[in-house]
Amino acid sequence: MTAFENLMAFQHTTEALSMVAERLGWDQETVMPRGATEQRSEEMAAMEGVLHARRTDPRLADWLANAEAPDAAGARAISLIRHSFLRSAAVPATLAEEIARTTSLAQGIWAEARAKNDVAHFLPTLKRVVALRREEGEAMAAAGVGGGDTYDALIDGYEPGASAASLAAMFSAMRPRLVALREAVLGAPTPKALSRNFDAEGQLALARRAATAFGYDWTRGRLDLAVHPFSSGGVNDSRITTRVVENEPFNCLYSTIHEVGHSSYELAIDAAHHFTPLGHGVSMGVHESQSRIYENQLGRSRAFTSWLFTQMQAQFGDIGLADADAFYAAVNAVRPGYIRTEADELQYNLHVMLRFDLERAMIGGSLEVEDIEEAWNTRFLADFGFAVDKPAHGVLQDVHWSVGAIGYFATYSLGNVYAGCLNRAMRQALPDLDASLAEGSARPAAAWLRENVQRYGSLLTPTEVITNACGHAPTEEPLLDYLEGKFRELYAL
């Protein structure tokens, strides 16, 4: 076998094992008995030890030095394996295993703290997670990852090519127009909201119909419940989760549609890339572009909500809203709120900016973990104009820090920016899209995204994917123009 063949055969097994590890994480968040948490943490640490050993295997260096790519896809695969080798080799195996062990335990501790609104119960664990991730970031930065910056090295694991500086510049460009539009909208009359309970069984049935409307492949996916919705897996097994709050059915519906976007991306990748470095989404920003465009530009559109209104009535009877226009207004209502995942499109990015600044400060050492609740509450009051009422609505609401996903949050807004660009290009390519959406079919949009974004997997860089699909480099303008057009029309501004 050639060096390239040896490299790809070795990587095939590494990719398969990483999927097994991911499945363990899915199991922990969905069906694992609560008493198994400590056992699972040891299992996850053991798996991470095996994976880290493979990602730093000395043979990789020899194969990478001698591999000759047969084509562009092969060259890209070599580049990605080389980068993974650089990142992994910089991190001691003991550290990689300890991060896996600690974050596995931390998920359960976070869930308990969130349920009890007890920040003190979580802080020692969070301090440990932050310290471990900082140590990891420092090790990678010393090897040249992220341009030598600790936080940028962590960002690199989620959005290659991005940096704290570039993301901060994006936020600076977005904030003025978002804040001005929010002030105008909040000064207008608020649409009528749903005001009754909707049973869990009915919500899940409707969520399944919505997923089907987007073409979700139920032969290769499934829907389960989790504390914090997520998707998991790839190749031919990509699963989604949602959560049910009986007086907030949009939470279940739009969490499901959001995760369908993630899962559909993984399931659409060209089969030739399976079990290679190209066989999964290229970055979390591009991944979020798929979930956010499914959820918002498509799922919250006037056309799709007109169909969803009929489905709500069929499932639950009278829902207290007079017509499809009132339902569209309720789905897209801009109201003060604490929860990022439940935030309207207009305010969502402001939630992300808060988290980005706080975690950057924690990693940089200018914010002590013990002070995170006070810092969160102070910043939230300044940004949103009202005080956090309880930790579950504040610093304990997100799972990301407990699982060690530091450097991740900004990719949500980057995904929104990418989605804004993709939506404009898609609408130009599919002028009759709204007619399909009004009939309960988002399949034409899903097919366009599959063809222009999803099938490539990691063959192209994040910027190349968006530029290739849209005909121009990513920019904030299409998203901001879309938001202003939608909410000025909705609120008659």
Torsion of CA 401, 406, 408, 410, to 10 degrees: 100
Interatomic CA distance for residues 259 and 281, integer angstroms: 14
Cβ-contact 159, 411 below 8 angstroms = yes
Interatomic CA distance for residues 487 and 125, integer angstroms: 41
Which residue of the set 29, 259, 359, 373 is catalytic? 259
Q: 390-399: buried (b, 16+ CB within 10 Å) or exposed (e) per residue?
A: ebbebbbbbb
Q: How many residues does the chain have?
A: 493
Interatomic CA distance for residues 232 and 259, integer angstroms: 9
Interatomic CA distance for residues 62 and 65, integer angstroms: 5
Backbone angles phi, psi at 110, to 5 degrees: -60, -45
97 catalytic, yes or no?
Answer: no
Quick one: residue 132, left, alpha or beta (phi over 0 = left, psi -120 to 50 = alpha)? alpha
State both tokens at 433.
């899209």
Tell me the torsion sign for CA atoms 215, 219, 220, 225.
positive
Interatomic CA distance for residues 113 and 417, integer angstroms: 33
Half-sphere CA count of 414, side-chain side, radius 13 A: 27
What is the set of active-site residues? 259
